[in-house]
Structure 1
Amino acid sequence: MSHQDKQGEVLQWVERVATFCVEEWALPPITGRILGLLMICDPPEQSAGQIADTIQASRASLTSNMRFLTTIGLIRKVRVPGDRTTYYRIEDDAWHKVVQRKLDSLGAFGDIADEGMKLAGGGPNTERIRAAQRSLTWLRDLAERNPLKT
């Protein structure tokens, strides 16, 4: 397989990651492309310019997305001694962080459901709230019994 064919396959895979991030988490496509690229690139550290060139993104859009991903702890800046360029790398536990945030949000909704149960006071709304609460509790409990290993 030629280098160009391999690069094309890598970019197709990066696009699949981006599509997943858009459809499942409502992230902008560029954010998914950045995550996909940083998962598969070699070397694992890439400059903003390398990332922009590879995923064909504008520098302005890339900069705001890199700032977002850095702030939420999915990627980090890396410095190379003697090189003034800033490089970026996906955190080894990035996906664990994503899943943990989702689980934490389920716990937060559980608290909201508890309040709703009190407000409904046994009325017809109670069963709908209880159904949501049972589903979320089941998923949270499942995750607690089978924690992710990092």
Structure 2
Amino acid sequence: MAREDLLSSWVEHFAMTFERDGFPLIAGRILGYLLICNPPERTPAELSAALEASSGSISTNLRLLIGQGLVRKMTRRGRMAALYRVDEQRWVDFVERRLESVAGVRDLTAGGLRLLSGDPDRAERLRVVDEVYGSLSGALDDLRNQLERARDAQRG
């Protein structure tokens, strides 16, 4: 298989992983492509051609990725079209927000268990979910420490 075919396959796998996390498939394709393309900046027209996607879909998903802090828009003197690239520095923030979301679920399950403290039958499903999130707590703390070190390294 040719290298470009392998890279296209990798972009597709990357996109499917992000789709499982709730992103549109095309957003994952844009992100995966921007992570490996050379030069690292692309116009919407270039993204549309490379990913065989409509300009409307590219535009919509670029706004989503910018809103998530994963892609940034740039302009250059002498170029009419804006350029987009992955914002590597903001990935730590993105991952940290996702970790906070997981921690938020643990807070919710703990609150629900308090509400159902006198009704163990009703609380059983919630208890199982709480235990899953509880087992993640230590791992999340480790990840937060690693993210903080990564953020410090970015600043340094």
TM class by smaller structure: 0.7 to 0.9
Q: What residue number does 1:136 align with?
A: 133
Q: Is the 8 A contact 1:73 1:91 kept in 2?
A: yes
**CA contact 1:74–1:97 (8 Å) conserved in 2:** no
- In structure 2, what is the equivalent of residue 105 of structure 1? 101
Kindly indicate whether the alpha-carbon contact (under 8 Å) linking 2:69 and 2:91 is maintained by their aligned counterparts in 1.
no
How far off its partner does 1:137 sit?
2.8
Let me know the Cα RMSD of the aligned residues: 2.0
Correspondence list, 1:51-70, <5 A: 51-70=47-66
Pairs within 5 Å for 1:1-150: 5-22=2-19, 24-123=20-119, 124-146=121-143, 147-148=146-147, 149-150=150-151
Q: State which drifts further: 127-136 or 72-81.
A: 127-136
Q: Is the contact between residue 11 and residue 33 of structure 2 (CA under 8 Å) also seen in structure 1?
A: yes
**TM-score, length basis structure 1:** 0.85
| Cα distance change of structure 1 residues 51 and 135 upon mapping to structure 2, 3 Å threshold | same
Q: Unmatched 5+ residue regions in structure 1?
A: none
> Counterpart of 2:98 in 1: which secondary structure?
helix
The offset of 1:95, in angstroms, is 4.1
Aligned partner letter, 2:71: I
Structure 2, unpaired ranges of 5+: 152-156
